[in-house]
């Protein structure tokens, strides 16, 4: 008897199959790459392209929310805290580079940031010292959110604090961070934040050519985070997270320690937000506490809901579309744009409960697959004696 042989996959093919399968298929990644790498740079002005780069920085937070909220069931209203952690880390490095002795010679204490001199500080605080090194700054952008997210969430998850209570606690954390930054003007610039950030290791980040390069760097980092997130979701870890979201007690009775899983995915979401904050600082050239408060954190939830809280690629589209709509409405209707913005959000949530990603999953995917004849299965070969 001869039977049909089962095709074998090489390790690389199996990895790519896991990476690009499911909701965020190869087609969705290719379309997103086409839009971000080709269409937007060719059709938008330098100013508009820089704004899109800024919007993409919010996408990092939204991807983390898809992991944390959509797939793990952990709603966080305080992702602005980690966005600000990465943003302020990069801003501190850039501010020290802009505060060399030659540029600050008119100050009472040369060699320190201008807002420290205004607040009568005579030396650089100890926690600013690591930011003299660009390498240490990059490491702190990754390490600090991991430590902070683990510290703030471990005891809550250990005590099984989830749902609305955990969401309110995360919101209170970002509110405390806002008051802490504003109240320590001599250390962090207060309500004005850190401004006049000009160069990165001698490279002028304000030039139009530099802004374009930073845009492509942001896109590259974004796709790296997308692939990493997709790999998590398609792994055993991702399946456990989805299972505990739907049937928590059953997963606990199966012997899994859900505290470790939840702390891990919450820390991953914090790292993604921190990376987005660091890139945001490079894109706009400043960092302010008003960019990391309660309202910006809730805006991140809106971007994720509009894009689809179960689709990591949808999070990118949601961030781009909502921010673009807000910009266009505020320019065309300065007095009415808030109402139009709110009405648009309500309509999208009611008409598309799965977000923009629901248009693809519920309506377009079947038609595309039928057109491409992907639903036709190969008939098995006849057995021969």
Tell me the residue range of the domain where 237 lies: 21-371
**Would residue 376 count as lying in a domain?**
no
Sequence-ordered list of residues with C-beta below 8 angstroms from that of 299, at least 6 positions apart, any chain? 58
Q: Is 73 helix (H, G, I), strand (E, B) or coil?
A: coil
The dihedral of CA 130, 136, 142, 146: what is its sign?
A: negative
- What's the CA gap between 285 and 267, in Å, rounded? 26
Backbone angles phi and psi of 373, in degrees to 5: 60, 45
What pLDDT does residue 10 have?
44
**Would residue 121 count as lying in a domain?**
yes
What pLDDT does residue 23 have?
43
What pLDDT does residue 363 have?
62
First to last CA, the chain: 5
Residue with tokens 């997709």: 230
What pLDDT does residue 374 have?
52
**Would residue 4 count as lying in a domain?**
no
**Would residue 6 count as lying in a domain?**
no
**Would residue 275 count as lying in a domain?**
yes
The series of mean pLDDT values per 10 residues for the chain, 385 residues long, is 42 45 67 93 92 94 93 90 94 91 84 88 91 94 95 87 88 92 90 89 89 95 94 89 86 85 94 95 91 89 89 91 88 81 78 74 65 52 42
CB 82 within 8 A of CB 149: yes
Which run of H or E residues covers position 321? Answer: helix 312-332
What pLDDT does residue 384 have?
44
The dihedral of CA 216, 218, 219, 221: what is its sign?
A: positive
How does DSSP assign 44-70, residue by residue?
S-HHHHHHHHHHHHHHHHHHHHIIIII
Residue with tokens 């302020």: 88
Backbone angles phi and psi of 353, in degrees to 5: -60, -25
What pLDDT does residue 62 have?
94
Alpha carbon separation from 225 to 25, 164, 228, 272, 273 (Å, rounded): 15, 28, 5, 7, 11
CB 294 within 8 A of CB 175: yes
**Would residue 5 count as lying in a domain?**
no
**Would residue 1 count as lying in a domain?**
no
Tokens of 292: 């990391």
What pLDDT does residue 94 have?
94
**Would residue 12 count as lying in a domain?**
no
Global model pTM greater than 0.85: yes
What pLDDT does residue 369 have?
64
Domains in the chain, number = 1
How does DSSP assign 248-301, residue by residue?
HHHHHHTT--HHHHHHHHHHHHHHHHHHHHHHHHHHHS-B-GGGSSHHHHHHHH
């Amino acid at each position: 008897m001869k039977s049909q042989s089962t095709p074998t996959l090489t390790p690389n093919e199996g990895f790519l199959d896991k990476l690009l399968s499911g909701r965020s298929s190869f087609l969705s990644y290719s379309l997103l790459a086409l839009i971000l790498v080709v269409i937007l740079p060719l059709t938008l002005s330098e100013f508009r392209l820089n704004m899109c780069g800024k919007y993409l920085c919010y996408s990092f937070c939204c991807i983390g929310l898809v992991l944390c909220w959509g797939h793990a069931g952990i709603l966080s209203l305080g992702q602005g805290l980690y966005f600000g952690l990465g943003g302020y880390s990069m801003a501190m490095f850039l501010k020290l580079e802009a505060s060399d002795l030659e540029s600050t010679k008119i100050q009472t204490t040369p060699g320190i940031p201008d807002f420290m001199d205004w607040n009568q500080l005579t030396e650089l605080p100890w926690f600013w010292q690591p930011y003299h090194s660009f390498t240490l700054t990059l490491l702190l952008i990754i390490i600090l959110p991991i430590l902070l997210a683990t510290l703030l969430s471990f005891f809550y998850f250990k005590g099984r604090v989830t749902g609305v209570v955990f969401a309110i606690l995360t919101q209170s954390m970002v509110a405390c961070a806002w008051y802490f930054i504003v109240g320590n003007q001599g250390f962090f610039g207060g309500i004005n934040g850190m401004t006049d950030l000009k160069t990165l290791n001698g490279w002028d980040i304000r030039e139009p050519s530099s802004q374009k390069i930073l845009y492509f760097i942001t896109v590259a980092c974004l796709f790296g985070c997308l692939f990493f997130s997709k790999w998590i979701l398609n792994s055993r870890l991702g399946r456990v997270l989805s299972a505990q979201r739907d049937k928590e007690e059953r997963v606990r009775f199966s012997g899994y320690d859900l505290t470790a899983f939840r702390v891990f995915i919450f820390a991953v979401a914090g790292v993604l937000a921190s990376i987005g904050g660091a890139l945001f600082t490079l894109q706009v050239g400043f960092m302010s506490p008003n960019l990391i408060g309660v309202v910006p954190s809730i805006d991140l939830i809106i971007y994720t809901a509009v894009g689809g809280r179960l689709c990591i690629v949808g999070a990118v589209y949601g961030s781009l579309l909502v921010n673009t709509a807000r910009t266009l409405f505020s320019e065309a209707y300065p007095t009415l744009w808030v109402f139009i913005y709110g009405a648009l959000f309500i309509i999208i949530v009611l008409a598309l409960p799965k977000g923009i990603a629901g248009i693809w999953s519920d309506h377009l995917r079947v038609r595309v697959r039928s057109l491409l004849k992907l639903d036709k299965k190969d008939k098995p070969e006849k057995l021969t004696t």
